[in-house]
Amino acid sequence: MPESLPATTWASHRLEWGRKTYVMGILNITPDSFAGDGLVENSLTSEEIVARAVEQAQRFVSEGVEMIDVGGESTRPNFAPISVEEELERVLPVIRALHAALPADVIISIDTYKAEVARQALDAGAAIINDIWALRHDADLAALASERGVPVILMANMRGIEKRDIVSDVMRFLAGSIDRALAAGVAWERIIIDPGIGFGTTPQENLILLRRMGELRALGRPILLGVSRKSTIGLVLGGLPPEQRVEGTSAAVALGIAQGADIVRVHDAREMVRVVKMSDAIVRGYTV
């Protein structure tokens, strides 16, 4: 069983590491999600998109999800960046509606690397910043996390970085981003790390990261694993499309928990909550 870390507390929230694995449900407020679950369609009004997002989030929560990650810009390979204004137009109405509709103990995360988007999302009800560039894209994001006293998820993004040994390279990247966070005043206990499966990594490197993810525990921070429906799973399973990768995702999630994952970020909430409960019973212990 992985060694427990001190709890992360802020505002009215508390995450107790080691006691259980938290499940984060994905809300893609985009038209071009790689997983095929984007909620934006040209035929829908903004009100209809918000209603769909709230409905999906409420379903996630009813299925056992404790965190909701809201993203307004696709992060798939070769994605086209959008402006701050367009990203805000997508995510703010959804976050406000979720904040009003969901139980107070459900934690809303904003998936962005732009400080201004994160700032307004926090004002609207988000409580965590999830940065796919680990504070390396927008210098103001670290200061914002420090100022607001919220946790920040630092994801290893190896796009454009020369690699030699993928685990060492990811650990070096994350260690550097942890230093940036600390230098900006982010509290140690409010830093979460993510190995960045599929972000500038080959399928073989992804499998190595999953196999050796436990080595990231040396960084001393909780680990978020985002492997749901990733292309490596489709490749291993013979070219399956994203919506047919639930069994492969289940295997990766279960083995990730055995390696020390503290949060799993998923598309298929009902199935993954069950996988997490069974994995936790084995890895963390279960009392009848």
- H or E stretch covering 195: none
More confident residue, 20 or 38: 20
Identify the pLDDT of residue 4: 79
Where residue 9 falls among pLDDT bands split at 50, 70, 90?
very high
Q: Classify residue 202: in a domain, yes or no.
A: yes
Q: Classify residue 61: in a domain, yes or no.
A: yes
Q: Classify residue 10: in a domain, yes or no.
A: no
Q: For 100-161, give the DSSP string.
A: HHS-TTSEEEEE-S-HHHHHHHHHHT--EEEETTTTSS-THHHHHHHHHT--EEEE---TT-
Domain that holds residue 77: 19-283
Q: Classify residue 32: in a domain, yes or no.
A: yes
Q: What is the CA radius of gyration of the chain?
A: 18
Q: Which residues are catalytic?
A: 230, 265
Q: 28 has which bridge partners?
A: 71
Q: What angle do CA 108, 112, 114 make, to 5 degrees?
A: 130
Identify the pLDDT of residue 147: 98
Q: Are 17 and 5 in contact (CB under 8 A)?
A: yes
More confident residue, 62 or 43: 62
Give the total number of structural domains in the chain.
Answer: 1
Percentage of the chain surpassing pLDDT 90? 87
Spatial separation of the C-alpha atoms in residues 164 and 98, rounded to whole Å: 42
- 251-263 residue pLDDT tens: 999 999 999 999 9
Identify the pLDDT of residue 3: 64
Q: Classify residue 90: in a domain, yes or no.
A: yes
Supply φ then ψ for residue 179, to 5 degrees. -60, -40
Q: Is 65 helix (H, G, I), strand (E, B) or coil?
A: coil
Identify the pLDDT of residue 286: 77
Q: Classify residue 91: in a domain, yes or no.
A: yes
What long-range pairs does 128-132 form, CB within 8 A, spacing at least 24? 128/67, 128/152, 128/153, 129/153, 130/69, 130/71, 130/155, 131/155, 132/75, 132/157, 132/196, 132/199
Q: Are 265 and 253 in contact (CB under 8 A)?
A: no
* CATH number of residue 273's parent domain: 3.20.20.20
pLDDT reading at 138 higher than 80:
yes
Identify the pLDDT of residue 117: 98
Average pLDDT value for residue range 47-72 = 95
Q: Is 266 helix (H, G, I), strand (E, B) or coil?
A: strand
Percentage of the chain surpassing pLDDT 70? 93
Q: Are 224 and 196 in contact (CB under 8 A)?
A: no
pLDDT reading at 134 higher than 70:
yes
- 88-110 residue pLDDT tens: 999 999 999 999 999 999 999 99
pLDDT reading at 38 higher than 60:
no
Average pLDDT value for residue range 134-157 = 97
Copy the structure tokens of residue 255: 């083995």
- 76-89 residue pLDDT tens: 766 678 999 999 99
Supply φ then ψ for residue 192, to 5 degrees. -125, 145
Closest CA to 170 of 216, 211, 132: 216
**Cα 153 to chain centroid, rounded:** 7
pLDDT reading at 248 higher than 70:
yes
Mean pLDDT taken over the chain: 94
Q: Are 135 and 112 in contact (CB under 8 A)?
A: no
